[in-house]
A and B are shown apart, each in its own frame.
Chain A
Amino acid sequence: GENVEQHPSTLSVQEGDSAVIKCTYSDSASNYFPWYKQELGKGPQLIIDIRSNVGEKKDQRIAVTLNKTAKHFSLHITETQPEDSAVYFCAAYNNNDMRFGAGTRLTVKP
């Protein structure tokens, strides 16, 4: 089955800096890669996603890149703000099977 690895497990940045979180997956058949943000006491919320036929997608300060050959994808947050502080999860999906990474705790220091 699919195996998703996520790095780093914790990330601390200064407000205004960029943050990058990376994930790798094992199943080349995976075709959908969402990213979720989870705030304390809440369920994960979808923030951006990308399909396997696209290399990059951007939504305001958030972007995701996908390298199918290398089987890795990354989340990029620019101009970070304190409210970006949360746990971020990547996931890889194929045929009703969604597998998540272990999460990255992002702290943005004001």
Chain B
Amino acid sequence: GAGVSQSPSNKVTEKGKDVELRCDPISGHTALYWYRQSLGQGLEFLIYFQGNSAPDKSGLPSDRFSAERTGGSVSTLTIQRTQQEDSAVYLCASSRGALPDSPLHFGNGTRLTVT
């Protein structure tokens, strides 16, 4: 079946511009995570959505980062006034329910390059 879909796959933007990254989770998955993967680094947690509960935003690195999840499905990660240090691969993952009973399924990520 269809997996987690992320778009765009690649995004090049100029410093100072805003970007929006989209994640379509697997249908029926209630949990959704955003992670950031910098070159040669592990996955850095950004934000977590579970059903209708308030999201856990504790991983967002600054107030330039925000995320929404509309209708409990599609999620958008927005980065305002991008900086070069924002360059990374942004990964979205979803699970049917709460971990650890439901494993995480990752998308292929959006590679963001800020010039």
Contacts and interface: CB of A to CB of B under 8 A. Distances in A.
Interface of A: 4, 6, 31-32, 34, 36, 41-46, 49, 51, 89, 91, 93, 96-103
A102 B91 contact: no
Contacts of B107: 43
The 6 closest A-B pairs by CB, nearest first: A43-B106, A32-B100, A100-B43, A102-B42, A100-B42, A43-B108
Contact of B103 (A34, A97, A100): A34
Interface residues of B, number: 23
B109 interface: yes
Contact of B106 (A31, A41, A45, A102): A45
Given A43-B109, A96-B99, A89 B91 contact: no
A31 B41 contact: no
Interface of B: 4, 33, 35, 40-43, 45, 48, 50, 56, 91, 93, 98-100, 103-109
Contacts of A6: 42
B42 A101 contact: yes
Contacts of B50: 96
Nearest to A4: B42
Contact of A98 (B4, B33, B41, B109): B33
A96 B108 contact: no
A32 B99 contact: yes
Contacts of B40: 102-103
Given A32-B100, A43-B109, A96-B56, A102 B4 contact: no
Given A43-B91, A97-B45, 11 more contacts: A34-B100, A41-B108, A42-B108, A43-B106, A43-B109, A44-B91, A46-B103, A99-B45, A100-B42, A102-B42, A103-B41
Contacts of A101: 42
Contacts of B104: 34, 46, 98
19 contacts: A6-B42, A31-B100, A34-B103, A42-B108, A43-B4, A43-B107, A43-B109, A44-B43, A44-B91, A46-B104, A49-B103, A89-B43, A93-B99, A96-B56, A96-B99, A98-B33, A100-B42, A102-B41, A103-B41
